[in-house]
Structure 1
């Protein structure tokens, strides 16, 4: 490929003027290849959202600015997923819009809608992501994109978005500005080339689009390989029901078409906190692997179960209290230099802290101590239950409805924001406007050259009457760029 400006320079130079520049048109990938790659993108997005949910359950992830995740957490997730930091931000945005992730007390956490995601099949998961994307685009935006796609099928999605939203802010904070990026992330395009099901999505036919996508998703299987080094390999995607149970007591090392898991004292402890028994963990691993467990794995499960509950955290009026049945372990915690900043101190056979129970819980576990949380009656509090609240469902369903209605369907009377957008576009491109207004019940039409827009009023030159007019934007019932 030779750029036009370079070819021109070569022709202008006497030394190279006689050279003949031979160029070949850049070939677009065939639709089959595009759809295949989009299927992989969709699969990776669903895996990544799942990993995000589990990560927010297991780590204390703070909000550092309005709706943003701190760079250390973004880097951690980026490394874990094997994706860019921008990709992590994109899936976080989709998780927030779909209501699966919320911010409470400056901390990100999964909502009860995340439970629905975890228990759903791939088809339902993808539909959740698509509906979140449609909520960002809006109803009229979807119509405009569908029109642009039908008229310019060879253009990239970035170009189509640019044509549909010419004045949109393309910054990282702008959701509309990231429409193409988010579409690429969830498998509706790849490198700007639209999947065959994008048109169905834009037309609101999500079920039709899902059927087309399903053929491109990797087949699920139900076997794993349990190894003596405490690692577990799933040669292919696991069914959601199996994945849920396995993830209760394992951590992922790498994700993809083949996923690697690892068990550890902390992960086994998490499974026990979630209500699993030692016997159930063994039975599931033996069933899925079709073999007896390697001795190191069997020993780890037994040892962790025997130590479970030695460190219990409960709430107090001034913070939290840590009770241990192992005096040596309690002494080790008090002497641990990594925990000095948490202000732990001994008091009447226990350890007290001004930290909230949840903060102390995560701090101890991140330093390798198998602490658990208990309520007033001594019942174990599962990590996944701490933030689940049925009110989140209604809250985020309302949010999703509001987002999807933010750009109402275009009627005979265009929304004022759409009118403003077209006026600003005409000003920028020095185009004329065909304007219809309703003044006290009287309909009038003008051909105008816009001059300015301020305080809800359009200043323009009337080409027919050759005079300057000032019209209230609220009176405009129809506007077309000529």
Structure 2
């Protein structure tokens, strides 16, 4: 442990932080570099690190640890005993690896065991990784695992895990068999069906959130009413809503702001894209979310059966992977199945392209398999609109501004009402632009009732205006005005508008303490022909729900905090040496071990005592002298070295 503690102290802050993060060290209970070294060499921590290493790297580590250790200082324990005074000198890598095998010797040994040539450069890469993970010391072309690591690896066969020989000699399972054309076509079509369903559900969820934000509970998660509303909009089970919200949030289509999930600017643009490009955004965010170790092991090849060939291969590649790897693959697989990366647990052609990072190719594959988008609809005399297939997103988005969605399937239906037309007019449309749009997409012309409704609504639109209050209108924030005294009087006494606190401020104006957007949408929901205008009297568009602004997430980094705490607690060479000596004495007291302690006497003479330590405190330690059979109290500062009794 001394060698590792000394090495940790010598690392710069960046390297130390990377090592702590890579080994996933919990900062709890770690006060100094000795605590950190002890935590890293704990059997559980070692096993956790080894579980994340592939077979070839483990084989290098195991073979390096099998090399004989000389009696004159190669092991860290003997080095620690001999160098207890100048404690930091023990971190010298050249000394620690003086008797360790070279990477060329390890490569030669692996080549013999595996019956195939192992290049030295492969071993060097593995040695560099092991060194960065603080499982071994790699210096001057020699690799020396820490003794605790080698001991743990030696215990593997008793735990049902492979020995060094098996790590080096057991061949990989057969390569993934290429799929047949029939299998590929089936998987591609099924994956496209999954992709279309996923994109449609998520688009409906984003649209619903843009209409009405969703509150995030203080304890996390969504309330049941919001969850049911989103489930109905997305046509999914209630249990699936948290997953869909997580997917859209990860793709940055929605974002949490002031405790509410809202649509983002990216989400607004995403709704206008084609189905294939919407899917590409989801697939890209899925791939970006994959941990590096998982992405590296997922083959970018169509036709791979995840529950068979892939898991067999992973079991061979990560022999100590255990549940962590299986859990990660299972979580990744569930999302992959949902968005069409896989179908029936088999990688689709588009999914293989996504895993390879070839998104243009993936989009092209999806475009050839997804249902064709249509650009025309049937306008009915009952003011309903029926689409004969999936509408182009740009047409669908504009229709949603003009009409209410009644059903969302491959063939969607909408219904136009006076309120929906007023909503479109409030969004900046006019009777002429609406009628021209409907003519451009209608297969049946424009029915007379629909033409009348739009023109009548447009003629009435703006009879009530909402505008910001002027300085002389204080303390009100907004003003409602109309040239129709009867209509203004109706608004004034409307009980549904009582919360706005509307009151007369002149013969043709009402005042409210609420801002323009609140008053505007309250009047619009009450079906008044209201328009918003600015100080110049120009009609302006009022967005009902503002887009969420993605704020940078500032989170505390436990690794950074731990490094700062270690540096603060470290008091230099003298303090570190004293801490190490105290650790050795404490260990001897706990185990009631007899040790040989070398004490520097006045005049420079060093005297060895065979002692059984009893207590440590105040810079001194009390021990039983086994040879003289007396009790001694000695200063810790005079200790030159400590070693186990012969």
Bigger shift: 233-242 or 29-38? 29-38
- Compute the TM-score of the two structures, normalised by the length of structure 1: 0.63
Q: Is the 8 A contact 2:304 2:346 kept in 1?
A: no
Q: Distance in 2 between matches of 1:140 and 1:155?
A: 19
- Compute the TM-score of the two structures, normalised by the length of structure 2: 0.49
* TM-superposition CA deviations, 1:303-336 (whole Å, max 9, x none): 2112212343445576544444444444444544
Tell me the secondary structure at the aligned position of residue 410 of structure 2.
coil
Matching of residue 182 in structure 1 with residue 338 in structure 2: no
Q: Is the 8 A contact 2:428 2:540 kept in 1?
A: no
The match for 2:411 among 243, 251, 258 is: 258
Tell me which residue corresponds to 1:113.
266
Tell me the secondary structure at the aligned position of residue 119 of structure 1.
coil
* TM-superposition CA deviations, 1:153-174 (whole Å, max 9, x none): 444999999998944998xxxx
What is the aligned length?
365
Q: Distance in 2 between matches of 1:132 and 1:295?
A: 47
Structure with greater strand share of residues: 1
Q: State the 1:178 CA deviation.
A: 5.3
Matching of residue 218 in structure 1 with residue 368 in structure 2: no
Tell me the secondary structure at the aligned position of residue 348 of structure 1.
strand
Structure with greater helix share of residues: 2
* TM-superposition CA deviations, 1:332-358 (whole Å, max 9, x none): 445444444x24331314444444444
Q: Distance in 1 between matches of 2:214 and 2:411?
A: 27
* TM-superposition CA deviations, 1:451-475 (whole Å, max 9, x none): xxxxxxxxxxxxxxxxxxxxxxxxx
Q: Distance in 2 between matches of 1:374 and 1:66?
A: 41
Where do 5+ consecutive residues of structure 1 fail to align? 1-28, 407-415, 417-482
Q: Is the 8 A contact 1:136 1:179 kept in 2?
A: no
Tell me which residue corresponds to 2:425.
272
Q: Distance in 2 between matches of 1:381 and 1:205?
A: 44
Q: Is the 8 A contact 1:227 1:294 kept in 2?
A: yes
The match for 1:382 among 541, 544, 548 is: 541
Where do 5+ consecutive residues of structure 2 fail to align? 1-181, 470-474, 560-646
* TM-superposition CA deviations, 1:142-200 (whole Å, max 9, x none): 22344999985444999999998944998xxxx99854443333222346454343233
Q: Is the 8 A contact 2:303 2:346 kept in 1?
A: no
Q: Is the 8 A contact 1:310 1:371 kept in 2?
A: yes
The match for 1:304 among 453, 457, 474 is: 457
Measured at CA, do residues 153 and 169 of structure 1 come closer, stay the same or move farther in structure 2, by a change above 3 Å?
closer
Q: State the 1:50 CA deviation.
A: 3.2
Tell me which residue corresponds to 2:204.
51
Q: Distance in 2 between matches of 1:159 and 1:360?
A: 63
Measured at CA, do residues 191 and 129 of structure 1 come closer, stay the same or move farther in structure 2, by a change above 3 Å?
same
Q: Is the 8 A contact 1:313 1:374 kept in 2?
A: yes
Q: Is the 8 A contact 1:148 1:160 kept in 2?
A: no
Q: State the 1:84 CA deviation.
A: 1.9
Measured at CA, do residues 75 and 331 of structure 1 come closer, stay the same or move farther in structure 2, by a change above 3 Å?
farther
Q: Give the 5 Å matches for 1:398-417.
A: none
Q: State the 1:47 CA deviation.
A: 2.8
Tell me which residue corresponds to 2:293.
140
Matching of residue 209 in structure 1 with residue 362 in structure 2: yes
Q: Distance in 2 between matches of 1:63 and 1:315?
A: 32
Measured at CA, do residues 59 and 157 of structure 1 come closer, stay the same or move farther in structure 2, by a change above 3 Å?
farther
Matching of residue 91 in structure 1 with residue 244 in structure 2: yes
Tell me which residue corresponds to 1:78.
231
The match for 1:41 among 175, 184, 194 is: 194
Q: State the 1:72 CA deviation.
A: 2.4
Matching of residue 347 in structure 1 with residue 483 in structure 2: no
* TM-superposition CA deviations, 1:356-413 (whole Å, max 9, x none): 4444444444454454444443444434596358xx5xx58x88xx9xxx9xxxxxxx
Q: Distance in 2 between matches of 1:227 and 1:44?
A: 27
* TM-superposition CA deviations, 1:6-28 (whole Å, max 9, x none): xxxxxxxxxxxxxxxxxxxxxxx
Q: State the 1:269 CA deviation.
A: 2.0
